[in-house]
């Protein structure tokens, strides 16, 4: 068998899948921020007019906002379900097929065997849970904002729009360290991590099962370490055992790592993890 072709990045379909998913998730999330602005504008008008029936108008405005939150919850959950059930399996298969092509083997070797089905289930379950956790947290934050906005509308100080937006930024995801990330950047990073990890596992598992490969060639950024970006054990252009590749399909968020099967090296006893390809 000839040496596999080493391509820097031929994952056009995977990139398109991730980009489309991030755009859909961002669009669904915009429901929260748009409805937040609408509610604040409406409460400001009600409070400013000091009109009779203000209490009922506040209730009506909150009902409209809560309906928007429910729509956000429905749409984002539907996206997460489809992403886990349909899109990630596509990413897995894409990684598997590209691995076969790089090894100059027939792409028809890949089928959804019991091993591959178990692998994709093991990947999608925690990824689904991670995304759903963000959705649940966003709904909780939206409900907290609604309570704060209602209290402000009934207070002597009134609705202070900028303060409420600062304290309840529904257009962001807030991490455990309180760092705020705009939805579009979080969505792109989260789905890219999940999609590329899944595709790389597809490549590695197919190399092991269909090609009986012992060694994988790592393609990565020139400065990227193997276990993490600052790791001094640089990954690019090195050979790694199939087991080590499985342990570190990627090194970090934003990692561009790809894996090339090297079945032509099967049986070699003079190779160690980290040797140049």
Percent of the chain surpassing pLDDT 70: 94
What distance in Å separates the CA atoms of residue 48 and residue 45, rounded to the nearest whole number?
A: 5
> For 190-239, how does the pLDDT look when each residue is reduced to its tens digit (9 = 90+)?
999 999 999 999 999 999 999 999 999 999 999 999 999 999 999 999 99
For the entire predicted model, the pTM comes to 0.91
Q: Taking every pair of C-alpha atoms in the chain, what is the biggest distance, in angstroms?
A: 87
Instruction: Write down the residue that tokens 């990413």 correspond to.
Output: 91
Which residues fall within 8 angstroms of residue 221, CB to CB, at 6 or more apart?
A: 236, 255, 256
pLDDT at 9 over 80: no
The encoded tokens of residue 118 equal 């178990």
What distance in Å separates the CA atoms of residue 140 and residue 225, rounded to the nearest whole number?
A: 38
> For 127-138, how does the pLDDT look when each residue is reduced to its tens digit (9 = 90+)?
999 999 999 999
Within 13 Å, how many C-alpha atoms sit on residue 136's CB side? 6
Q: Which of 257, 189, 248 is nearest to 223 (CA)?
A: 257
pLDDT at 85 over 80: yes
> For 50-81, how does the pLDDT look when each residue is reduced to its tens digit (9 = 90+)?
566 788 899 999 999 999 999 999 999 999 99
216: β partners: 240, 261
Within 13 Å, how many C-alpha atoms sit on residue 176's CB side? 1
What distance in Å separates the CA atoms of residue 114 and residue 266, rounded to the nearest whole number?
A: 25
pLDDT reported for residue 1: 35
What distance in Å separates the CA atoms of residue 192 and residue 195, rounded to the nearest whole number?
A: 5
Percent of the chain surpassing pLDDT 90: 86
pLDDT at 41 over 80: yes
Which residues fall within 8 angstroms of residue 239, CB to CB, at 6 or more apart?
A: 215, 216, 217, 218, 262, 265, 271, 273, 274, 275, 276, 277
pLDDT at 176 over 90: no
């Amino acid at each position: 068998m000839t040496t596999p072709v080493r391509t820097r990045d031929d994952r056009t379909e995977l990139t398109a899948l991730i980009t489309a998913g991030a755009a859909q998730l961002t669009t669904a999330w915009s429901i929260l921020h748009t409805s937040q602005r609408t509610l604040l504008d409406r409460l400001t008008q009600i409070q400013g007019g000091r009109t009779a029936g203000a209490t009922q108008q506040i209730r009506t405005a909150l009902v409209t906002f809560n309906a928007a939150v429910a729509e956000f919850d429905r749409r984002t959950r539907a996206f997460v379900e489809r992403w886990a059930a349909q899109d990630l399996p596509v990413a897995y298969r894409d990684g598997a097929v590209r691995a076969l092509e790089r090894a100059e083997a027939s792409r028809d070797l890949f089928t959804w065997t019991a091993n591959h089905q178990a692998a994709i289930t093991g990947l999608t379950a925690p990824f689904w849970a991670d995304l759903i956790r963000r959705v649940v947290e966003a709904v909780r934050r939206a409900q907290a904002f609604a309570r704060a906005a209602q209290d402000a509308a009934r207070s002597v100080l009134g609705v202070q729009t900028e303060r409420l937006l600062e304290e309840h930024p529904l257009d962001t995801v807030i991490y455990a360290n309180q760092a705020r990330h705009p939805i579009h950047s979080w969505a792109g990073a989260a789905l890219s991590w999940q999609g590329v990890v899944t595709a790389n596992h597809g490549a590695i598992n197919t190399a092991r099962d269909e090609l009986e490969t012992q060694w994988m060639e790592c393609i990565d950024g020139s400065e990227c370490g193997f276990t993490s970006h600052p790791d001094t054990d640089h990954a690019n252009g090195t050979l790694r055992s199939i087991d080590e590749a499985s342990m570190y399909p990627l090194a970090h968020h934003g990692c561009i790592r790809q894996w090339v099967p090297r079945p032509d090296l099967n049986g070699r006893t003079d190779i160690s993890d980290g040797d140049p390809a």
